[in-house]
Structure formats: structure tokens, C-alpha cells
Amino acid sequence: MITSFHPPQRTLMGPGPSDVHPRVLSAMARPTIGHLDPAFIGMMDEIKQLLQYALRTENPLTMPVSAPGSAGMEACFVNLVEPGDKVIVCQNGVFGGRMKENVERFGGEALMVQDAWGTPVSVDKVRELMQQHDDIKALAFVHAETSTGVCSDAQALCRLARDYGCLTIVDAVTSLAGVELEVDQWGIDALYSGTQKCLSAPPGISPVTFSEAALEKVSKRESRIPSWFLDKKLVMGYWGGGQKRAYHHTAPVNALYGLHESLVMLQEEGIENAWQRHAMHHEALKAGLETLGLKFTVAADARLPQLNSVQVPEGVDEAKVRSLLLQNYSLEIGAGLGDLAGKVWRIGLMGSSCTRRHVMLCIDALENTLGEMGVELPSGAAAAAAATYAAQEQ
Amino acid sequence: MITSFHPPQRTLMGPGPSDVHPRVLSAMARPTIGHLDPAFIGMMDEIKQLLQYALRTENPLTMPVSAPGSAGMEACFVNLVEPGDKVIVCQNGVFGGRMKENVERFGGEALMVQDAWGTPVSVDKVRELMQQHDDIKALAFVHAETSTGVCSDAQALCRLARDYGCLTIVDAVTSLAGVELEVDQWGIDALYSGTQKCLSAPPGISPVTFSEAALEKVSKRESRIPSWFLDKKLVMGYWGGGQKRAYHHTAPVNALYGLHESLVMLQEEGIENAWQRHAMHHEALKAGLETLGLKFTVAADARLPQLNSVQVPEGVDEAKVRSLLLQNYSLEIGAGLGDLAGKVWRIGLMGSSCTRRHVMLCIDALENTLGEMGVELPSGAAAAAAATYAAQEQ
């Protein structure tokens, strides 16, 4: 007989999920109600408002897709890419490659802009490609590449797209609530995110927003959308507002309780304060890691505070380090993905996992673990992090 | 400022979600761990085994899709239907229509077998159509139509499909754990279900299973699957077994805790006992409702015990009744859908909502509410239900 599952209590400092706050966990355990219950519909409206707040947008189509970030990605591409559409896809990590897959599976043509993993998308290369083609329908890029920890200049890329009259599709899975993200001000047309990164809700839901121009593209489509579940025209009958909701699918009720609570917490903190918090703890973590002699993959000016990709010191068995951290400290950090597999660790400081307690634990655990494995390390990492906090307080 | 959401405590007797057991709710609130954590991977294996148990199958591809039932449906069709494929789709309610949408959106041709809403799929009509065409690739039908409460003869339909050499795609959203369902014995090739019906886990996850023949069809596809998120070849890199899992998407960790717990509870009860329990409480509910003068939509021999569709008495404002039940008893029953909108109520007896307490509450609440609205009713409904229980105990 299989019995109840009792997970270990971890500290999650990988690329997501991040630690889920007890307030969010207990929200998930509240009694399930119907997805058409008036009380639930009231909560749906609040989630919409809270997402608009977090995304800095007034887009009426702002809602959580009832599935993980990859489905949010698919919701954007399946609605916005028609067979034959040319889409510029910027790849500087794993998730740009997934965007390419999406474009092609829906019959579009992906024109690739390749940049080295760990560097931002080159705005110049994108401009060149736009100059060469006059029929680009959309520009797709990843704001915060979870696989490398690099932040691209979303504002500049969106301005460029606007200049050339094409839509933008932006992956903001890891950026939302961790660094500045301005949907309306930057003119982002379609964006998807995730709940398990800087929002610190459990994985499984993907916030998306579509601008008016994106909606127009959907409504003018000539071909049928090759998905029923993700068809925005249908989904909006349920999420669209008003007390009269058309049944589309059964919403993941309890998961949405969790998302609601995490968004309430974000609003209590204030979105700008959340950005500031991520920046502050990143500085302390960086001071500690650099004192240990670890090198960042990404240059300082393009580094995401919430996803710290550092190079594995030569000769160190990186998987063993992660395994020891899990075993001895119940601490999860992330492995490298794709081109960076085996070469880097990804240390997340996201949402509820972005606190002084996390920073100090991570430095201590890494220092001890590497030391026990015989790596010679300079001392003073914890002191360097603490000094950074002290300096920031002044 | 928007504050924390505290849902009312309902009794859920609609078409799903059903009442979620406190054991399942508290499982959802356990600490989130990583989707690649060894402890999580062990739990994934258990979920697979428990689903194989519940579905009576040894199919290695048996797993929960990380999204609601409609995505499970899409996972079956998007993988198994190629452009130009002829698929017989049986429609006798809302969900057959959705299958048609799926076939067409993925480029297939849907040959429809229409039956009146509330009657089972006609095996004879399907046979006729199969005789007329020699290039049918699949037969798709709904085992338990949630919109009407009718059960179709899945065993006979699957035998027929086998005789004519085509695959079967079966909607078992409402049947799983409520009535007999035998994936291997009946020879079902692809099946999707939901968690929020007779499994009584929160909505948001869709168990699916694919037979060897279905997998062969997927592997021999000539066209690319127009979905990345639901591509079974990719998903199985994560769900496929062994300690080495390829990251595909971030699994909905806490929702899967809930599903795991609900499946553990099902295994404790025993699947056959669960079928039996649904049948028993249905008899008592039926005795009570019929004493009240309410008529069932579906003939007795094709009626689902877990979804009781009854006709709204003439002249009664059905929405007002549901609203009063919610207001005065915090009891949710379902409205009609599609052709049956405004004409029927759908009373669910699913999973944790299938107990004597639920049956007696529903009869009492309906009797009082209809009485207060001036409908003249025979007395003795509760007594009739109680007598049915007494008779069954003998």
C-alpha cells in the first residue's frame, strides 16, 4: 500500500519553485468552492486587478492561464502566430529555443537572433534583421533568462518593435516581481509569466497579459487557433468580467487561492519595494560568493538579482555539491541547463526565498560543503555579506 | 487594498468540483519542494502507480497532465490526430462537441454520430459509419457525459473500434472512480480524466493514459505535434520513470500532493468499493428525488450514479432555486449546460460528496426550497431515501 506523502522541508534557492510562504500554503488548503460560485468570481476579479498591479498594465486581458509557464508561453504563440507569419526570436538561453519551437509548431517562420548564453539580447542585431525584412509580424524575446541569469533590455526591444510595426511577445517568467517590468510603459503586447519564481506561489499557473494590438491580431486571424484550451477568445468568456461567466474549463480553484494570497502579499509590500529587496539581497549574496572566489556567468550590468548563475570551480563535481547541500542543509540550488549544464550553479533569490536568512544560509552551506570536499577557499564570505547589509542600511 | 480571500464553506453537489476531503486539502498545504527533488520524483512514481490502479491499466504512459481536463482532452487529440485523419466523434452532450472542436483544430476530419442528449451513444450508428469508411483512424466518445448524466457502453464501443482497426479516445472525466472503468480489459487506447469529480481532488490536473498502439501512432506521426506543452514525447522525458528526469515544464507540485493523497484514499477504500458506494447513494438519492416528483433525464439503465440530471418542474425558476440553495444551505448543485440549460439540474454525488450526509442534505434542502417557492410536493422524500439505505443494509 502506498501511504500519504510528507515532503521534506527544503530551502528552495534554485531557479524556481522558490519557498512558498506559509500564508500562501494555508490559502491553498481552504475549502474548495465551485468555479462558477459568486464568491469565486469575486476572487477572480481581484486576481485580475492584482495582476494588473504587478504587471503595471491596464490591459483588460490580464489573467492567469490554468497551467504552468510553458502553457502560458504556448497561449501567447498559439493565439498570435498564424501559419506563414515571420517572427524574430531572440535566443540567448534555453527559453528562446522553446519560443522557436512554439513559432514553428504553429506554422510560423522563426528568424533567429543568436547571442551567447549569459549575454543580453543584442538590440542592434534585432534592428538589422528588422531592416532586412518588411514583413515581420512579431518580436519574441526572454526578459529574464532563467537558464543563464541574464536580463535583456525589454524597453529598448519593445521600442524597436513598435518602430517597425510589429508585436512583442515577452517571456517574463522570472522577471515578474524581481526586477522592473512595465507592460504599458514599455509597450509590451503579449507577456507570460510564472507563479513559482518571484511571486512565490506554487508552480502550475501562468499569468498572461495581451495588449489591445495583440487582441486585434487575434480577432483578425484568418486561420483557426490550433488549441481549444488556450484559445483566448473562448477563455475570455470565463475570465472576461461581469457576473455572467461562460463555462470554458474548470479553473484550478485552490491553486488560484494560493496565487491570490501571494499577490495580496506583493501588494502589501509594494511592487517597487519588492524590486528593491531583490536588488539588496543580491548585493549581499554577491559579496559572499565573490569572497568565496566564485565567478558570475553574467556581466554585472546585465545580471538578474533573483537568479545568480555562478561558475563551478574547476575540478569540482557540481552534482555532488548539490547533493550534499540537499542532504546536509536541505538546501536546493539549481544545476546548469542546456549549454551550461555541468558548468554553472543557479542560485535563486526569488520572492520568499529572497531574505537575509537565505543569503547567509547559502553562503555558509556552500563554504562548508566546498571546504569539506577539499576545495581551498578564502575565508570571510559571511562577513563580506554582512558588511554589505550594514553598508546598505546607512 | 485587496485582502486575503476566505471562501465560504460549501457543500458541493454540482457537476464538479466535488467536496475535497480535509486530508487532501491539508496535503496541498505541505511545503513546496523542487520538481526535480529526489523526494518529489519518488512521489511522481507513486502517482503513476496509483493512477494505473485507478484506471485498471498497466500502460507505462499513465500520468497526470499539469492542467485541467480540457487540456487532458487536448493532450489526447493533439498527439493522436494528424491533418487529414478521419475520426468518428460521438456527440450526445456538450463534451462530444468539444471533441469535434479538437479534431478539427488539429486538422482532422470529424465524422459525427449524433444521439439525443441524455441517451447513450448508439453502437449501431457507429458500426454503420465504420462500415461506410475504411480509413477511420480513431473513434472518440465520452464515457460519462457530465452535461447529461448518461453513461455510454465504453466496452462495446472499444470492441467495435478494435474490430475495425481504429484507436479509441475516451473522455472519462466524470466516470473515473464513480463507475466501472477498465482501460486494459476494454482496450481503451487513449483516455483523459479529471481530478475534481470522483477523485475529489481540487481541479487543475488531468490524468491520462495511452496504450501501446496509441504510442505507436504518436511515434509514427509524419507531421509535427502542434503543441510543445502537451507533446507526449517530450513530457515522458520528465514523467517516464527512473531517477534521471529531463526538465520539461515545472510540475504543479502542491496540486500533485493533493492528487496523490486523493489516490491514496481511493486505494484505501478499494476502487470496486468506490464504484459500489456511488451506486448505493445514488439509489437513496433517486428514491428521495422521485418521491418529490422530480423526473430523471436519463433512462434508468444508462444513468450515471454520480451525476443525477433531473428535470426542473414546470414553472419553477431554476436559477432562483440554485441561488436559494447556495444562500440558505451553502449547497451547490449544477445548472443545465448547452441544450439542457434552464431545463435540468445536475446533482453530483461524486467522491467525497457521495455520502449519506450529502444525500439527506440535498433532499431536505430541495424539498424546503421548492416548498417555500410555492411548489406543491408530496411528502416523505427523506423517509424514502432512509428506507432505501435500510433495505440496502439487509
Say if B22-267 and B271-393 have the same CATH topology. no
DSSP symbol at B300: G
The CATH architecture to which A21-267 belongs is 3-Layer(aba) Sandwich (3.40)
Contact B69 A255 (CB under 8 A): no
Ranges of H-type helices in chain B: 22-28, 38-55, 69-80, 94-105, 123-132, 154-163, 183-186, 212-219, 232-239, 253-269, 271-291, 318-329, 356-372, 381-393
- From B390's Cα to the closest Cα of chain A, the distance in A is 32
CB pairs under 8 A between A and B: 279
CA distance B321 to B345: 10
Determine contact, residues A98/B98, Cβ cutoff 8 Å.
no
Q: Say what the pLDDT of residue A195 is.
A: 97
Q: Residue A279: which residues within 8 A CB-CB, separation 6 or more?
A: A179, A305
Position A269 pLDDT exceeds 70: yes
CA distance A334 to A343: 11
Residue A247 confidence class, pLDDT cut points 50, 70, 90: confident
Nearest to A209 by CA among A70, A103, A98, A76: A76
Which of chain A's residues have a Cβ under 8 Å away from the Cβ of B46? 2, 5
DSSP symbol at A296: B
Q: Say what the pLDDT of residue B243 is.
A: 62
Q: pLDDT per residue over A32-80, tens digit each?
A: 999 999 999 999 999 999 999 999 999 999 999 999 999 999 999 999 9
A56 assigned ligand-binding residue: no
Mean pLDDT of A10-20: 98
CA distance A29 to B30: 9
Q: Say what the pLDDT of residue B241 is.
A: 67
**ipTM higher than threshold 0.90:** yes
Q: Which residue of B has its CA nearest to A45?
A: B2
Q: pLDDT per residue over A186-213, tens digit each?
A: 999 999 999 999 999 999 999 999 999 9
Mutate to test the interface with B, among A249, A346, A353 (most CBs of B within 10 A): A249
Contact B105 A228 (CB under 8 A): yes
Q: Euclidean distance between the first and final Cα of chain B, in Å?
A: 59
Residue A87: phi and psi, rounded to 5, are -125, 125
CA distance B57 to A303: 49
Q: pLDDT per residue over B125-163, tens digit each?
A: 999 999 999 999 999 999 999 999 999 999 999 999 999
Q: Which residue among A25, A32, A38 sits closest to B17, beta carbon to beta carbon?
A: A32
Q: Is B190 helix (H, G, I), strand (E, B) or coil?
A: strand
Mean pLDDT of B362-368: 98
Position A236 pLDDT exceeds 90: no
Higher-confidence position of A88 and B247: A88
Q: Say which residue the cell 509590451 belongs to.
A: A188
Which of chain A's residues have a Cβ under 8 Å away from the Cβ of B248? 70
Q: Say what the pLDDT of residue A318 is.
A: 97
Mean pLDDT of B363-392: 97
Q: Which residue of A has its CA nearest to B26?
A: A29
Q: Which residue among B4, B26, B224 sits closest to A105, beta carbon to beta carbon?
A: B224
The class (CATH top level) of B22-267 is alpha beta
Q: Say what the pLDDT of residue B394 is.
A: 73
Q: Is A64 helix (H, G, I), strand (E, B) or coil?
A: strand
CB atoms < 10 A from the CB of B332, how many?
Answer: 23
Mutate to test the interface with B, among A3, A23, A28, A73 (most CBs of B within 10 A): A28
Residue B352: phi and psi, rounded to 5, are -70, -15
Q: What is B271-393's CATH superfamily?
A: Aspartate Aminotransferase, domain 1 (3.90.1150.10)
CA distance B184 to A90: 46
Mean pLDDT of A7-27: 98
Position B242 pLDDT exceeds 70: no
Q: Which residue of B has its CA nearest to A200?
A: B32
CA distance A79 to B310: 39
Q: Which residue of A has its CA nearest to B203?
A: A252
Extract long-range pairs of A293-298: CB within 8 Å, 24+ residues apart.
Answer: A293/A377, A293/A378, A294/A366, A296/A149, A297/A118, A297/A148, A297/A149, A297/A340, A297/A344, A298/A118, A298/A119, A298/A148, A298/A149, A298/A150
Q: What percent of chain B has pLDDT over 90?
A: 94
C-alpha cell at B18: 466535488
Q: Say what the pLDDT of residue B236 is.
A: 86
CB atoms < 10 A from the CB of B242, how many?
Answer: 7
Q: Amino acid identity of B377?
A: L
CA distance B92 to B32: 41
Question: What are the sequence ranges of the domains in chain A?
Answer: 21-267, 271-393
